């Protein structure tokens, strides 16, 4: 055998091995080799393919690694519109659907297939002669976004069908993240100080619609197919057969479906899923009921958005009754007293829940929640526990309305509620609880990023009086730290090294670390960029409050907060200490960009949840292109970028006739700006 033949054989071996190990890892949860060994095999294959492009193949496992990030998504028109489904919010609405189905078909008990409804993101996949060539999101139903590179990173999605299908085959289904992957992803984000995904759907959407496929590859997404376009071409006559055929092609289907031919059957299926879903590895938010016989579907027709031969039954969020044993009050960094209900443990959406935040006095008054009350608890987005309402009929005798204390539960100082604010605050800025929380915030990742200085250690240091404010961190001695519980010489050394390193954090991070009310990571970065000096910022805050308001995102409240903070003598002393310790107070001004930027002079407002990025990240993308980001919509606003669940800004934009961009349009605009498709002004931009 020649050298080339040998290589070809090795390539095939490697591909088969890599595919097998991917299956063991992702599908069977039973890996036989370590990640390291897997990476080594992958690298070997990549090297061969790089040297011998003639051996490369579109379905090679190397295609799953994810290419370089791109500038924006390319638009894809769907050959057949990607429709959505009508919802049935209760069993009566479902019964109505089933009756109508029967009437239209003159059949009292039409056969329907019930399938679990996956809480994910709809996608379309195209296979040409059995090879995956393109995948796209639903978008607006007519036009979606090309997410081929990101989809290829999903390990369970075949790049080649196990049975070759001639010509173009389009299949559709749902991309989602399993519950374990979701929990792991949010845990990592919490650790990194990044915003958490509210639910698995958002996590899947955010992961699939990122411009960096390498990021998608890290997220362990799953895909399940449930639809074949033009099934008659393949002799597929029923929904049940469709699912079987998808499986025969090697495409993952989620299973759990059942044929039903009466309302009773359907209800029995719902009963099972209503509880069974919590044991299911993937988040499901309902059941889809579809007319099984495909040839009869045209008799029912479609509405503008959804076919009438199917319906989605949505599960109501699970609620449980429990008794409140106590309402705990804790004190945060800014002195805010936060009430939390502590109750008898209950199982909710798969986990045990013992506590739920009650937010503030107004919320407590509105629901009239008292210690001893029986309350209904549910999880918002299946994640965050909340008290929905009190079961007043079960209220025991002798309960009293709950009032937040007038004295701080930690230091005993007066706690007050300032006019116009919802929060009750401890007035003593030296309160140990506040001191501790401020130090924890100072050391956190988005601030000074001091690894190792977490909650427990700060607690000990404050208790032992080694720290009474965050500037004291820079006077800690190695032997003091080494003498603490569960600290050795090595960890003490590491901590001191991390403290030293923090002195050169970026100026924005230092401003954020100060813990000034109403100032978070983003505003701190904007202030740093504007003034390039902490001393200049301090000076402006004391003397020129109005000027501050010309900084992005700074309004009257923030300007007042800055003024109050920088004129307070304790804080001035803190600044002196930080300066003396050598913490960064200055940064070099960014030189003005070379040449004009595509969005110079354009004003954007962001509202709602974007799936591919946070609003702060979108703001950075806008500013990098010369645009401005404002907090409120006015006639001067050029574009309002609208994510999911937008706020009143969306309504205001519509009433003022300000052009609105959804996330897809925003991404397209970014791509256009970067590809040189500008200059563009608000007048020339499409609405
Ligand atoms: S069938 C033309 N089946 O839920 C109808 N959809 O709320 C195509 N979904 O748009 C949809 N699981 O994104 C279908 N087993 C399932 C599903 C499912 C989840 C999604 C899909 C759909 C949405 C409707």
* Residue spans per domain, the chain: 3-64, 87-314, 320-394, 432-581, 603-686
Atom number in ligand 1 closest to CA 116:
15
Rounded alpha-carbon distances, angstroms, from residue 294 to 87, 165, 251, 309: 20, 21, 20, 9
Rounded alpha-carbon distances, angstroms, from residue 264 to 94, 110, 273, 335: 11, 13, 14, 56
Rounded to the nearest angstrom, the distance between the alpha carbon of 117 and the centre of ligand 1 is: 7
Residues 18 and 62: their CA atoms lie apart, in Å, by 9
Rounded to the nearest angstrom, the distance between the alpha carbon of 294 and the centre of ligand 1 is: 16
Give the residue, by CA position, lying nearest to ligand 1 atom 18.
117
176, 119 Cβ separation under 8 angstroms: yes
Rounded to the nearest angstrom, the distance between the alpha carbon of 281 and the centre of ligand 1 is: 18
Give the residue, by CA position, lying nearest to ligand 1 atom 17.
117
Query: 310 CB less than 6 Å from ligand 1?
Result: yes
Give backbone dihedrals phi and psi of 629, rounded to 5 degrees, phi first: -115, 125
Q: 669, exposed or middle or buried, with CB in 10 Å at 0-12, 13-18, 19+?
A: buried
Rounded alpha-carbon distances, angstroms, from residue 76 to 103, 149, 379, 642: 38, 14, 37, 21
Share of the chain above pLDDT 70, in %: 93
Query: 228 CB less than 6 Å from ligand 1?
Result: no
- Give the pTM: 0.54
Atom number in ligand 1 closest to CA 119:
19
138, 144 Cβ separation under 8 angstroms: yes
Query: 84 CB less than 6 Å from ligand 1?
Result: yes
Query: Which residues 6+ apart lie within 8 Å of 662 measured at CB?
Result: 641, 642, 643
CATH number belonging to the domain at 87-314, selected among 3.40.50.300, 3.30.50.10, 3.30.470.30, 3.40.1190.20: 3.30.470.30
Query: 122 CB less than 6 Å from ligand 1?
Result: yes
Rg (CA), the chain: 29
Q: Which of 85, 119, 176, 258 to mutate to test the pocket of ligand 1 (most atoms within 8 A of CB)?
A: 85
Residues 116 and 176: their CA atoms lie apart, in Å, by 13
Query: 289 CB less than 6 Å from ligand 1?
Result: no
320 catalytic, yes or no? Answer: no
**How many helices, marked H, and strands, marked E, lie in the chain?**
23, 22
Residues 354 and 343: their CA atoms lie apart, in Å, by 5
Atom number in ligand 1 closest to CA 312:
7
Atom number in ligand 1 closest to CA 121:
13
Domain 3-64 has CATH 1.10.287.610: yes
Query: 118 CB less than 6 Å from ligand 1?
Result: yes
Atom number in ligand 1 closest to CA 115:
15
pLDDT at 681: 41
If phi > 0 it is left, if psi is from -120 to 50 it is alpha, else beta; for residue 250 that is left
Give the residue, by CA position, lying nearest to ligand 1 atom 13.
122
Residues 402 and 371: their CA atoms lie apart, in Å, by 7
pLDDT at 503: 97
Q: What's the pLDDT tens digit per position in 304-335?
A: 788 999 999 988 778 899 999 999 999 988 88
Query: 300 CB less than 6 Å from ligand 1?
Result: no
Rounded to the nearest angstrom, the distance between the alpha carbon of 350 and the centre of ligand 1 is: 24
Give the residue, by CA position, lying nearest to ligand 1 atom 21.
122
pLDDT at 679: 44
CATH fold of 603-686 reads Rossmann fold (3.40.50)
Query: 117 CB less than 6 Å from ligand 1?
Result: yes
Using the 8-state DSSP alphabet, how is residue 594 labeled? S
Closest CA to 444 of 386, 367, 524: 524
Rounded to the nearest angstrom, the distance between the alpha carbon of 173 and the centre of ligand 1 is: 7
CATH fold of 432-581 reads DNA polymerase; domain 1 (1.10.150)
Rounded to the nearest angstrom, the distance between the alpha carbon of 523 and the centre of ligand 1 is: 40
* Ordered mean pLDDT values, 10 residues apiece, the chain (687 residues): 86 91 70 74 87 86 66 83 89 95 95 95 96 92 90 91 95 92 76 68 85 74 96 97 98 96 97 85 91 96 88 87 96 90 89 90 94 91 80 96 95 90 88 93 93 92 94 96 90 95 96 91 89 92 87 85 93 95 89 66 89 79 82 89 86 87 87 65 36
Q: Which of 51, 75, 100, 117 is catalytic?
A: 117
What 3-state class would DSSP assign to 496?
helix
What 3-state class would DSSP assign to 636?
coil
Rounded to the nearest angstrom, the distance between the alpha carbon of 258 and the centre of ligand 1 is: 16
Query: 85 CB less than 6 Å from ligand 1?
Result: yes
Rounded to the nearest angstrom, the distance between the alpha carbon of 354 and the centre of ligand 1 is: 34
Query: 283 CB less than 6 Å from ligand 1?
Result: no
For the chain, report the end-to-end CA distance as a whole number of angstroms. 64
Query: 312 CB less than 6 Å from ligand 1?
Result: yes
Query: 351 CB less than 6 Å from ligand 1?
Result: no
Query: 174 CB less than 6 Å from ligand 1?
Result: yes
Checking 490-495 for CB contacts under 8 A at 24+ apart, the result is: 491/452, 494/451, 494/452, 495/450, 495/452, 495/453, 495/457
Using the 8-state DSSP alphabet, how is residue 592 labeled? P
Give the residue, by CA position, lying nearest to ligand 1 atom 7.
85
Rounded to the nearest angstrom, the distance between the alpha carbon of 289 and the centre of ligand 1 is: 10
pLDDT at 194: 65
Other C-beta atoms lying within 10 Å of the C-beta of residue 565:
21
Atom number in ligand 1 closest to CA 87:
7
Atom number in ligand 1 closest to CA 122:
13
Give the residue, by CA position, lying nearest to ligand 1 atom 2.
83
Kindly report the CATH class assigned to 320-394: mainly beta
306, 149 Cβ separation under 8 angstroms: no
Q: What's the pLDDT tens digit per position in 494-529?
A: 999 999 999 999 999 999 999 998 888 888 998 998
Rounded to the nearest angstrom, the distance between the alpha carbon of 85 and the centre of ligand 1 is: 7
Rounded to the nearest angstrom, the distance between the alpha carbon of 84 and the centre of ligand 1 is: 7
Domains 87-314 and 603-686 fall in the same CATH topology: no
């Amino acid at each position: 055998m020649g050298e080339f033949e040998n290589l070809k054989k090795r390539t095939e071996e490697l591909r088969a091995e890599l595919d097998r190990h991917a299956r063991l890892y992702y599908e069977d949860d039973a890996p036989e080799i370590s990640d390291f060994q897997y990476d080594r095999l992958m690298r070997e294959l990549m090297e061969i393919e790089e040297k011998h492009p003639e051996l490369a193949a579109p379905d090679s496992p190397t295609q799953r690694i994810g290419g370089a990030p791109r500038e924006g998504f390319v638009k894809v028109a769907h050959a057949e519109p990607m429709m959505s489904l009508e919802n049935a919010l209760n069993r009566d609405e479902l019964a109505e659907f089933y009756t109508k189905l029967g009437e239209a078909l003159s059949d009292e008990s039409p056969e329907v297939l019930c399938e679990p409804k996956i809480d994910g993101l709809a996608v379309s996949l195209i296979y040409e002669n059995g090879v995956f060539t393109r995948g796209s999101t639903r978008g607006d139903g007519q036009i979606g976004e090309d997410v081929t590179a990101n989809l290829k990173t999903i390990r369970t999605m075949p790049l080649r069908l196990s049975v070759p299908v001639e010509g173009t085959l389009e299949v559709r289904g749902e991309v989602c993240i399993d519950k374990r992957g979701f929990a792991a992803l949010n845990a990592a984000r919490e650790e990194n100080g990044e915003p958490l995904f509210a639910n698995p759907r958002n996590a899947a959407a955010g992961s699939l619609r990122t411009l960096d496929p390498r990021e998608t590859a890290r997220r362990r997404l799953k895909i399940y197919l449930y639809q074949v376009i033009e099934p008659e071409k393949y002799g597929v006559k029923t929904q049940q057969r469709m699912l079987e055929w998808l499986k025969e092609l090697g495409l993952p289907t989620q299973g759990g479906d059942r044929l039903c031919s009466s309302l009773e059957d359907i209800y029995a299926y719902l009963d099972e899923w209503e509880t069974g879903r919590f044991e299911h590895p993937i988040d499901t938010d309902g059941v889809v009921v579809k007319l099984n016989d495909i040839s009869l579907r045209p008799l029912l027709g479609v509405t503008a958005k959804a076919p009438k031969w199917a319906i989605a039954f949505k599960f109501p969020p699970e609620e449980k009754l429990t008794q409140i044993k106590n309402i705990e009050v804790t004190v945060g960094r800014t002195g805010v007293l936060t009430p939390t209900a502590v109750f008898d443990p209950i199982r909710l959406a798969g986990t045990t829940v013992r506590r739920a935040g009650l937010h503030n006095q107004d919320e407590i008054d509105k629901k009239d929640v008292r210690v001893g009350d029986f309350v209904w608890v549910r999880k918002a987005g299946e994640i965050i526990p909340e008290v929905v309402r009190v079961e007043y009929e079960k209220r025991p005798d002798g309960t009293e309305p709950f009032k937040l204390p007038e004295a701080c539960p930690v230091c005993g100082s007066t706690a007050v509620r300032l006019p116009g604010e919802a929060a009750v605050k401890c007035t003593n800025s030296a309160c140990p609880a506040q001191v501790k929380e401020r130090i924890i915030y100072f050391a956190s990742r988005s601030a000074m990023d001091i690894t190792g200085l977490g909650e427990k250690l700060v607690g000990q240091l404050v208790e032992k009086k080694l720290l009474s404010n965050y500037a004291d961190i820079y006077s800690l001695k190695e032997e003091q730290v080494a003498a603490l519980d569960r600290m050795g010489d090595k960890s003490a050394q590491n901590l001191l090294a991390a403290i030293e390193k923090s002195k050169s954090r970026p100026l924005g991070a230092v401003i954020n670390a100060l813990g000034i009310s109403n100032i978070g990571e983003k505003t701190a970065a904007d202030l740093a960029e504007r003034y390039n000096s902490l001393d200049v910022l301090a000076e402006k805050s004391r003397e020129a409050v109005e000027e501050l308001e010309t900084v992005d995102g700074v309004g009257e409240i923030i300007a007042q907060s800055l003024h109050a903070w920088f004129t307070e003598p304790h804080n001035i002393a803190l600044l002196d200490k930080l300066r003396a310790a050598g913490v960064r107070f200055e940064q070099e001004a960014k030189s003005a960009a070379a040449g004009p930027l595509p969005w110079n002079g354009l004003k954007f407002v962001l509202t709602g949840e974007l799936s591919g990025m946070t609003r702060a990240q979108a703001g950075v993308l806008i500013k990098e292109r010369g645009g401005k980001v404002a907090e409120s919509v006015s006639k001067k606003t050029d574009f309002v970028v609208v994510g999911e669940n937008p706020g009143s800004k969306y309504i205001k934009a519509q009433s003022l006739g300000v052009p609105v961009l959804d996330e897809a349009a925003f991404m397209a605009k970014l791509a256009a700006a970067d590809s040189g498709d500008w200059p563009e002004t608000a007048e020339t931009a499409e609405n």
